[in-house]
Amino acid sequence: MAAGLVVLVAAGIGHAATDSPGGASAFSPYIGHWACEGHFTSNNKPIASTMSFASALAGKGIIKAQDDVPTLGNYHSVETWAFDAKANQWVAGIVDSSGGVRTFRSPGQVEGKLTWTLVDGQPAQQFVYSPVSSGKFQLDWLIERPGKGLVVGDTLTCKRLAGAS
C-alpha cells in the first residue's frame, strides 16, 4: 500500500507549487482527529469511522487516514492532498484496503465546500466535504447510478475529538 501511495504522490503532485493558490492552509480546519458516524443511503445501514488529517510537504499538503469502526465496516484508506501547479488545481491520491488506487481533483474550497471528483474510472464518484459548524463537518460520497447521475452513496457527520487539534 505504501508503494502505491508513493507512486500517486510522485505522479500526481510532482508539480506541487511553492506558493499555491488557496494553499494547504485553507484545509487547516481539518487538521486533527475526528470521530464520524453516518449511514449508507441505499439501506440506511449505519457506518462509523475515525479520520485524521496531518500537514505534509512542509505545509503544502495534507495526509488523511480513515479507518472504519470494525463492527460497522472494513474500509481503510490513506490519502495525499497537494496542489498541482501545472493543472492549477488540487489532486488527491487515495489508496484503500480493498486494493483501490484512485486519483481525484478539486478546485479547492468553493463556497465553503471541498469537492473531490474522480479523474478517470467508472462509475463517476465525488467526495464532498461541507462544514456544519465549528468542530464539525459532513462528508458525502457520491457515486453515479444509471439513469440517476451522481447520488449520495453514504454520508458521515464528523466531530473533532476532544483535546485533538
pLDDT in tens, 81-90: 999 989 999 9
Structural domains counted in the chain: 1
- Please indicate, yes or no, if residue 26 is contained in any of the structural domains: no
Which pLDDT score, from 0 to 100, does residue 100 have?
A: 87
- Please indicate, yes or no, if residue 82 is contained in any of the structural domains: yes
The one-letter amino acid at 24: A
- Please indicate, yes or no, if residue 25 is contained in any of the structural domains: no
Q: What is the CATH number of the domain that holds 72?
A: 2.40.128.20
When pLDDT is cut at 50, 70 and 90, the band that residue 15 belongs to is very low
- Please indicate, yes or no, if residue 90 is contained in any of the structural domains: yes
Cβ contacts of 96 within 8 Å, gap of 6 or more? 75, 76, 77, 102
Q: Which of 8-17, 45-54, 123-132, 139-148 has the lowest mean pLDDT?
A: 8-17
- Please indicate, yes or no, if residue 11 is contained in any of the structural domains: yes
The one-letter amino acid at 74: N
Residue range(s) defining the domain that contains residue 83: 2-19+31-160
- Residue 50's Cβ-count burial label (10 Å; 0-12, 13-18, 19+) is middle
Taking all residues of the chain, what is their mean pLDDT, rounded to a whole number?
A: 85
113, 127 Cβ separation under 8 angstroms: no
Q: Is the pLDDT of residue 149 over 70?
A: yes
Tell me the pTM: 0.83
